[in-house]
Amino acid sequence: MTPEIPKRKWLSKSGQTITFAIVLALLSLLAFGLAKASNGPVESGMAPDFTLTGYDGRTVSLSQLRGQVVIVNFWASWCPPCREEAAYLEQTWRKYQGQGVVFIGVDWVDTQKEALAYIKEFDITYINGPDLRTIIADAYNIKGVPETFYVAKNGELRGVQIGPLQSPVLDQKIEELLSETYP
């Protein structure tokens, strides 16, 4: 009765396939987003490698520190809980300095002025540098600051401390990591 109108073309087989494809693509995207949102900070496997240029000009690269215990601490000058642990971190660094332990402070979305003031206030001597473009923070999937990652001598992650560190947790962890032996 009524002739085939061009509109039907859009609803034809190919149109349907395309529609399904788009819907499935969208659902996959949502699944990805969901997975990403529920992921916590990286806790196991090899610690993601990074290179950091400190405020004082020193450079450090995680992969070159193989054989040493590395404590990677994410902080920011505007973060009150970070201040709680700052003194303890520096103290522990000085205690284990030279025993094969390296401390790296990664400054997360901070301003240079405030960061330098913070470093001066707590007299921090281990290397601290800005996380340019938040590449390192993204690699470790941090959800906030402060977060401290423990890296064993062979480069593997041994867990993360979310929130400020309190004595003697860090000391114990370092002892644990130092005593690790590999066959």
Partner 1 sequence: MVRKLLVILAIATAVLFAGIIAAKAQGKVPTDDEVNAVAKKLYCPVCPNTPLDVCETKACQDWRAQIRDELSAGWSEQQILDYFVAQYGERVLAEPQRKGFSSLVWMLPVIAVLFGVVIVWQVLRGWQSGRSRAPVNPPDPNISPETLARIEEELKEMK
Partner 2 sequence: MLADIGLFATAFAFLLSVYATIFSILGGLRERHAWVKSARNATLLVFPLLTLAVLMLVYLLYTLDFSIAYVADVSSQAMSPFLRITALWGGQQGSVLFWAWLMSGFVAAVLLRKWQRDREFMPYVIAVTMLTTAFFIGLVVFITNPFARLWHVTGAQDLITSVLQPANSMPYIPADGGGLNPLLRHFGMVGHPPTTYLGFTGFIIPFAFAIAALITGKARDDEWIRTTRRWTLVAWIFLTIGLVLGGRWAYDVLGWGGFWGWDPVENAMLMPWLTGTAFLHSVMMAEKRGMLKVWSMVLIILTYSLSLFGTFITRTGVIGSVHAFAKSALGPAFFLFIGLTFLGSISLLFSRLKTLKSEHRVESFVSREAAFLVQNMLFLAITFAVFWGTIFPMISELVTGTKITVGPPYFRQVTGPLFAALLLLMSIAPFFSWHKQTLPNLLRAILFPLLSSFVGAGIWGYLHRMHPSSIFALWIASFVLSAILYEFWKGIRARMTSRQENPLTALVNLFRRNHGRYGGYLIHLGVIMIALGFIGDSYFKQETQGTVSAGESLALGGYSLRYDGIRGYQGSDGRDIVEASLSLFQGDQALRSLSPRRDFFTVQQQPTTIPAVYSTLGEDVYVLLVDWNNQDMSTATFKVFLNPLINWTWLGAIIMVLGTVIAAWHSNQQEASYVLKTVALAPETGD
Contacts with partner 1 by CB under 8 A lie at 2-3, 5-7, 9-10, 76-78, 109-114, 130, 132-135
Instruction: Return the residues of window 108-147 that contact partner 2 according to CB under 8 A.
Output: 133, 138
**Pick from partner 1, partner 2, none: which does 3 bind, CB < 5 to 8 A by kind?**
partner 1
Q: What kind and span of H or E run contains 34?
A: helix 13-38
Q: Which of 18, 21, 30, 109 binds partner 2 (CB under 8 A)?
A: 30
Report which residue type is found at 115. Answer: A
Q: Which residues pair with 148 in a beta bridge?
A: 73, 161
Closest CB to partner 1 among residues 110, 147: 110
Q: How many residues are present in the chain? A: 183
The full 3-state SS of 96-138, as one line of letters, equals HCCCCEEEEEEECCCCHHHHHHHHHHHCCCCEEEECHHHHHHH
What's the closest the beta carbon of residue 135 comes to partner 1, in angstroms?
8
Q: Which stretch binds partner 2 (CB under 8 A): 28-36, 61-69, 109-117, 166-174?
A: 28-36
CA atoms of 124 and 72, how far apart (whole Å): 14
Catalog residues that contact partner 2 under the rule CB under 8 A. 2, 5, 11, 16, 19-20, 23, 26-27, 29-34, 36-38, 133, 138
